[in-house]
Chain A
Amino acid sequence: MGIIELKDVSLSFGEHHILRNLSIDFWEGHIHAVVGPNGAGKSTLAHTIMGLPDYRGHSGDILFNGKSIKNLTINERAKLGITLAWQEPARFHGISVADFIQRAAGHNGESRIARDALELVGLEPDRYLIRDVDTTLSGGERKRIELASIVTMKPKVVLMDEPDSGVDIDAINSIFEVLSSLREQGTTVIMITHSGEVLKHADHAFLLCNGALVDKGPVEKLTSYFQRRCVPCTHKNVPDQEVLV
């Protein structure tokens, strides 16, 4: 039994089937990658696990440590230890980096927590604590600040949507160091990616296509997807007609 289990989850928006009968186990304390082409349903999967409002109308169930979280709100899931890092982090007017990080840790007015978290993600606290989480920060800075806020939560599950999107090499290396550190502390990381480089940092991978689970296994096995551009794949665009893993 995984820490997060999807049991036969399907989600449609109108006539568009975005997730199709997904049953997936995410093992505790591992870094998982969910890979697939654009439109495969990868981000939708992350948003569904997090319980975002537009993604609550799915069939099937989602379990956390064996208990259903299907009817829990975003913050109720967060209180259990599940959190999400967006592909494009939100910007906030008038909210300082210090406040943003401290509130995630459930604290007010203790800059030590924010300071430690910024150092962990490779950002100099004195430069960033008093700045706002707004457009003056680069994409990489906002990603790292978001990760800092996640670290302070001491989460059990981190959903990372395209962790390398909009970041430079220094930033992505720093991010992966933090993810490895989280794994060592027992946190489960689920990375959404279409990057072969990001995939290499995972322990285990799932391949989605057209909302369905096509393959899963060790990273080496799924790497061939990137090398051969989803070949072998005899089910393209018609997964209902194929026998899937």
Chain B
Amino acid sequence: MHKHSFGPDVAHLEIHGNSVLNATLVDGLVVESAETRSGVDVDVVVKRGTKIKNPVYLCFGMLENGLQHIRMNVHFEEDAQAHFISHCTFSNASEVEHLMDAHIQLDAGAQYTYFERHIHSNEKGITVIPKAKIFLGENSYFKSEFELIKGRVGTMDIDYEAECGDNSVLELLSRISGRDDDLIKIREAGWLKGINSRGLLASNIAVRNNARAEIYNELTATAAGAKGHVDCNEIIQDEAQAKAIPIVDCRHPKAHITHEAAIGSVDSKQLQTLMSRGLNEEDAVEMIIQGLLRK
């Protein structure tokens, strides 16, 4: 496994299989981990008022085949701020099961942004099942970006649920490219129960060959001033299939939620524009898909 090199002021945690290879912390960040038979249990606390300047890196990898089950409790105390970057690397594996169960609690005023990038091999036997329950205290902010655009998806089943307190902001974004017989399932649900809480659920998916995608984005607003948007863009090619089920549930007259879903082949005008500049169809399609999946 590639050993990353970080500066002394960059917090990081490296987990390979069910072993913690390396852990470096900074002031205000508390991490406790325990190896289990099938993975690692991790407790993360960002202490009250801590603002961690550099991203905190989480590196998960598997060289061989097997199961990696990560149970993670994350607690951002009041007014804590940090950006976490997680790399899940299974670039040499062919039969891997990566499970993640996360419980995330943001106290009042906390800000937590989380970017997770998966890099998979071109083998089909990878299964990724991340589940998260997120609780946003008042005036807190949580943003999660999930990206898998290199290698085979295999089977993916994402299930994130979030409850949003007063004046909190939730953003759940995903960008995934599937091919061959990959199976992508995403369920993201946000409950805007706090006054003036806001939520954005956005998915950009590209599937080709015989891949399948099912995207369930659900936003429920029960408080005055709650606002949200659900956005799903999917491009399908060949015999791939994509399904988007946006659920917009508004239970307060002063709440407002919108949704958009667009599924289909590559937009013909975009395609013809690029071709009229000399790109062949294959290159034009690839350029459009990469644009859709770009961070």
B142 vs chain A, min Cβ distance (A):
23
- Cα A91 to Cα B262 in complex, Å, equals 15
> A233 interface residue, CB < 8 Å from B?
no
Which of A52, A95, A99, A104 contacts B278 (CB under 8 A)?
A: A104
- Cα A77 to Cα B277 in complex, Å, equals 9
Contact across chains for B272 and A52 when beta carbons are under 8 A apart: yes
> A13 interface residue, CB < 8 Å from B?
no
> B290 interface residue, CB < 8 Å from A?
yes
Interface of B, helix, strand, loop or mixed by DSSP: helix
Contact across chains for B291 and A78 when beta carbons are under 8 A apart: no
Contact across chains for A92 and B270 when beta carbons are under 8 A apart: yes
Contact across chains for B277 and A73 when beta carbons are under 8 A apart: no
Interface string of B269-295 (1 = CB under 8 A from A): 110111111111100100110111110
- Cα A83 to Cα B287 in complex, Å, equals 19
> A153 interface residue, CB < 8 Å from B?
yes
**Could you tell me how many residues of chain B have their Cβ less than 8 Å away from some Cβ of chain A?**
24
Contact across chains for B279 and A94 when beta carbons are under 8 A apart: no
Cβ of B281: which chain A residues have Cβ within 8 Å of it? 73, 75
- Cα A78 to Cα B204 in complex, Å, equals 30
Which of A52, A78, A92 contacts B277 (CB under 8 A)?
A: A78
- Cα A103 to Cα B273 in complex, Å, equals 12
Contact across chains for B291 and A103 when beta carbons are under 8 A apart: no
Contact across chains for A75 and B287 when beta carbons are under 8 A apart: no
Cβ of A104: which chain B residues have Cβ within 8 Å of it? 277-278
Cβ of B294: which chain A residues have Cβ within 8 Å of it? 93-95
Contacts between the two chains (Cβ within 8 Å), count: 65
> A74 interface residue, CB < 8 Å from B?
yes
Contact across chains for A50 and B276 when beta carbons are under 8 A apart: yes
> A106 interface residue, CB < 8 Å from B?
yes
Q: Which of A131-153 contact B (CB under 8 A)?
A: 132, 146, 149-150, 153
- Cα A93 to Cα B289 in complex, Å, equals 9
For A88, give the chain B residue with the smallest CB separation: B269
For B269, give the chain A residue with the smallest CB separation: A90
> B222 interface residue, CB < 8 Å from A?
no
Interface centre among B267, B268, B274, B276 (most CB of A within 10 A): B276
- Cα A103 to Cα B268 in complex, Å, equals 18
Given contacts A92-B291, A93-B233, are A78 and B275 in contact (CB under 8 A)? Answer: yes
Given contacts A86-B269, A92-B288, are A75 and B276 in contact (CB under 8 A)? Answer: yes
Q: Which residues of B contact A (CB under 8 A)?
A: 204, 233, 267-270, 272-281, 284, 287-288, 290-294
Task: List 29 interface pairs A-B (beta carbons < 8 Å), by A numbering.
Answer: A50-B276, A53-B268, A73-B281, A75-B276, A75-B278, A75-B279, A75-B281, A77-B276, A78-B275, A83-B276, A83-B277, A86-B273, A89-B273, A91-B270, A92-B288, A92-B291, A93-B233, A93-B291, A93-B292, A94-B290, A94-B291, A94-B293, A103-B274, A103-B277, A103-B279, A104-B277, A106-B278, A132-B291, A153-B277
